[in-house]
Structure 1
């Protein structure tokens, strides 16, 4: 368990008072800025790795600046230690926040463990029984295709009519009782491997494949226990993720594309584990090479790896369209991103993991990401 250093509210406020008349102080902030509140200063820990007052102000802006939506939690880790932590009223370090699509990256780590165990093969046809009938073109879909969101299946994540969204139909309508079966029954709309299309349905197929690798049973309770036990023993317990609660559908399939719950600290811990390429306290929980694959651009989408978003520029894509900010942060930065503004931003070169959880619409998310980039820019390349 990482420990939270004691905030330096009193000492920082005293230092601020003593330094208020000094010119040229790099940590004092521009002249005319409003004073920082005790809450803002209290969010920053001792030796945060960046100028204390600047960091306090940039984190404070995430909570107070108009146009960013509602920020509910921020946890910043630098070099494996909490550098800043703050919550909006009604939330705290024990609150479990829904992952939405951040769960996809956790599912990818589980798949990597199963590949390392020899239970799955990355570049062989994905072991989905319904695709193995003679003449079924879906038999050409590999595990790599699924991980990189280029299966070619007719999955439409979102559109103008919500009830026509594959994600909505799978999660809440005709597919909800057996999500994997519904997702797997969809036909191809493109040749496997030829097209990137982001899809929560695809990740549920991966979760179904994981369950089949762990048990031959179709009994929902057995499938649920097999996956939950594997995750707990191989990932959650070794990492100390004591708060995480994964959800399963009625068929016993992990809803690995969108529904896990955990504290902001545990999301930060998981992100920092990826920053360290799958190692935690000297133990390699998933092969280093697998994490490197997770953050390698797909042939069909430079901004996406294995169920993970990448801070890579994309030809023909404007900054407003990109899910991250390649003009503001290192290209090595990668992220877990969830619906309505859930982010775990991971920068290996800055030894930084930043969690921002809340509720922001599309326009607010773009503005909020620029503010998050302001925080990240306070940290030097290591």
Structure 2
């Protein structure tokens, strides 16, 4: 997206004036480049990997009201493992914990990958949900892979014309909020497992429930379930990565609200993005197998723009793809949360961009174009 500032630089003033006034008005030349402001430059590192002033201008545009991007509360750019841009809106700072919304799905997927690596779960075995294992229940065919790739076939509705009737809203905020997994797992099939893509927060809560069952050996005690998952995340993921701010939320049954509600600082969300960029490795320690990250960024057969609880820039022009128009270079992926939370990772460019804030649907389209402008600043080897 070209900003008003960039468009002004591209068009000589005299082209908008009658010829008789041209020489007097602009002397035949273009408008002087106003450049980045001092405030914009102050949040950019000395060696950002691209032109410092250009990065300052594009990064600064994330916070400009007239851009129509909504409210950017915090944003950060990392290149080659170093923070090269970091900024907060008034009222927010480096200690502010921001809600993940659906970025939590990607955290849940990593937790499941660790349990698979531990030998506690199998990717292509029937998902260990006791209610589905009764004789004659077709849901017994749903695998862990199906759940992770959002193709379980369960009758889950993420949105809809009447929001309070959707599965997601009922589960998170209304009559089913005390035992979210029970409600999600009770739903019937509406399609054959594996055949239909349907993005669903309810599906991720089922994954969180499976993790709690494994870690507690099927305990139904809410406090035991909460403590087991919390300890696992802190000792296996958050602690090793230095993500000390993270605060996961749990429902009354002790199940992690794994599709929607984990809180953390801007820098900690960036650490998580860098961990994914480095194929599950941190400072030489492989926290989750590289093959699991490869699976997470493998396209779901019914939806090439989605992987294992993560969005891909494959088939970027598909209307369902939440990364459009970020289509180049190939291999970009993102954890995306409601109302404009983004962790955008481009492994080929050694680039991680985090934007946290509040944007409606129209504003998010403009926001993604601006993030794309940041991506395009960096060369692809």
TM-score by length of 2: 0.90
- CA distance in 2 between counterparts of 1:310 and 1:326 reads 11
Could you tell me whether the CA contact under 8 Å between 1:107 and 1:257 is conserved in 2? yes
- CA distance in 2 between counterparts of 1:46 and 1:202 reads 44
Structure 2 residue 70 is the aligned partner of structure 1 residue 53: no
Aligned to 1:247: 249
How is 1:317-356 mapped onto 2 (pairs within 5 angstroms)?
317-318=318-319, 321-325=320-324, 328-356=327-355
Q: CA deviation at 1:165?
A: 1.1
- CA distance in 1 between counterparts of 2:344 and 2:367 reads 13
Of residues 300, 304, 307, the one that matches 1:305 is: 307
Q: CA deviation at 1:202?
A: 0.2
Q: CA deviation at 1:327?
A: 5.6
- CA distance in 2 between counterparts of 1:236 and 1:342 reads 19
Stretch deviating more after TM superposition (189-198 or 36-45): 36-45
Could you tell me whether the CA contact under 8 Å between 1:275 and 1:347 is conserved in 2? yes
- CA distance in 2 between counterparts of 1:324 and 1:314 reads 7
Q: CA deviation at 1:314?
A: 5.8
Q: CA deviation at 1:276?
A: 0.2
Structure 2 residue 125 is the aligned partner of structure 1 residue 124: yes
Aligned to 1:278: 280
* Residue ranges of structure 1 left out of the alignment (5+ in a row): 1-29
- CA distance in 2 between counterparts of 1:226 and 1:98 reads 22
Alpha carbon RMSD of aligned pairs, Å? 1.2
Could you tell me whether the CA contact under 8 Å between 2:69 and 2:364 is conserved in 1? yes
Of residues 255, 258, 266, the one that matches 1:256 is: 258
Counterparts in 2 of 1:31 and 1:288: CA distance versus 1, 3 Å: farther
Higher-Rg member (1/2): 2
Could you tell me whether the CA contact under 8 Å between 1:312 and 1:326 is conserved in 2? no
Give the match's secondary structure for 2:67.
coil
Length, aligned pairs only: 350
Counterparts in 2 of 1:266 and 1:188: CA distance versus 1, 3 Å: same
Structure 2 residue 158 is the aligned partner of structure 1 residue 157: yes
Could you tell me whether the CA contact under 8 Å between 2:297 and 2:310 is conserved in 1? yes
Give the match's secondary structure for 2:295.
helix
CA displacement, residues 177-204 of structure 1 (integer Å, 9 cap, x when unaligned)? 0000010001110010010000000000
- CA distance in 2 between counterparts of 1:109 and 1:251 reads 22
Could you tell me whether the CA contact under 8 Å between 1:313 and 1:326 is conserved in 2? no
- CA distance in 2 between counterparts of 1:50 and 1:314 reads 25
Aligned to 1:186: 187
Of residues 233, 236, 239, the one that matches 1:237 is: 239
Give the match's secondary structure for 1:71.
strand
Q: CA deviation at 1:31?
A: 4.8
- CA distance in 2 between counterparts of 1:256 and 1:283 reads 25
* Residue ranges of structure 2 left out of the alignment (5+ in a row): 1-29
Aligned to 1:90: 91
- CA distance in 1 between counterparts of 2:126 and 2:63 reads 47
Give the match's secondary structure for 1:346.
strand
TM-score by length of 1: 0.90
- CA distance in 2 between counterparts of 1:241 and 1:34 reads 39
Could you tell me whether the CA contact under 8 Å between 1:347 and 1:353 is conserved in 2? yes
